[in-house]
Structure 1
Amino acid sequence: MLWVKAFHIIAMVCWFAMLFYLPRLFVYHAMSDDQASKDRFKIMERKLYRGIGTPSMIATIALGIWLMTYSPAFYMSSAWFHAKLTLVVLLVGYHHMCGAFMKKFATDSNTRSHTFYRVFNEVPVFFLLGIVILVVVRPF
C-alpha cells in the first residue's frame, strides 16, 4: 500500500507541475509576436500536455482508485473524501480546459489575452491547497 501511495503522490506532483507550467506558457505564447516563438510554444505546450500532463493525470487517478480499494468502506463513508473527489473532478475539467486552450493556440485562433492566462494560471493553486488540506487534516 505504501508503494502505491508513494507513486500516487509522485504522479500527482508531476500532474500539478504541468498544471502550473502550461498556463504560464500560455501567458508567454499570448504575448509573443514572431512566428518562430509561436511555433516553439506550440511544440512545448503539446509535449508538456500530452507527454507529461495527461499520463500523470491518468496515473494519479488510477493509483488513487487502487488506494481506495484497500478500504472502500472507509473512503466512501468519509465526507472529506467526497469533497476531495469533487475537487479532483473539477481539476480534471481544468486539465481539459488547458487542452482546449492549447488547441486554440495550435490553430492560431486564441482570442484571450496574456492577462487572462495570468489569472487562469493561479487556479490550480486553490485545487492543490484544498486537496492537500482535505487529505492531511480531514476537517470533516
Structure 2
Amino acid sequence: MTVLDRDSNGEMLRGHFVYLGFAEESGGAIHVKVGRSSDPYRRFLALSHASPIEIKLFRCVRLPYLESSKIAEKLIHRGLAEFRSNGEWYRFDARIPEHKQTLHRVCRGVLDKVASSGWHWDTVHMKALRALARQNQAIGRQISLKAA
C-alpha cells in the first residue's frame, strides 16, 4: 500500500504521515522540506505550487498515531537543525557525502524509535503526482456532467 493508493470508495488514503520534499538547485544544493500531514496527496500538490524551487520528489512514511507523527517531525527538525535554511526547509550540499549521510542517519534514527516495526518510505515523483491530479480532475468533471 502506498500514499497514492485509494480506499474502497475511491478516496485517497489518509493517515498520519511524515514527509520529505526534495528540490534541487543547480550547483549541488538540495533543499528538503520536512513536515507531516494527514493527507499527503493534497499537501504535496500544495507544496509543489508554493515552492520557488521545483520539488521533484517526495518521500513519506505512515505512522500509527497522530502523536507519533508530531514527535517524529519534531525530532527530525532537531536532528537537522544545523542545516536549517528557513522554517521547515533544510539545505544540503549534494557534493558533500556527510550531508546526505546526516539526513539519512537522522531520519532513520527517529523513525526507528517512533514508528512501529517494518516502516518504509514511500517515494512519490512529482510527474506521477501531477498525472494523478489531472486524472482526478477529469473524473471530477465527468461526475459533475453526469449530475447536471
Q: Which has the higher strand share?
A: 2
Asked if TM exceeds 0.5, the reply is no
When normalised by structure 2's length, the TM-score is 0.32
The higher-RCO structure (CA 8 Å, 6+ apart) is 1
Q: Which has the higher helix share?
A: 1
When normalised by structure 1's length, the TM-score is 0.33
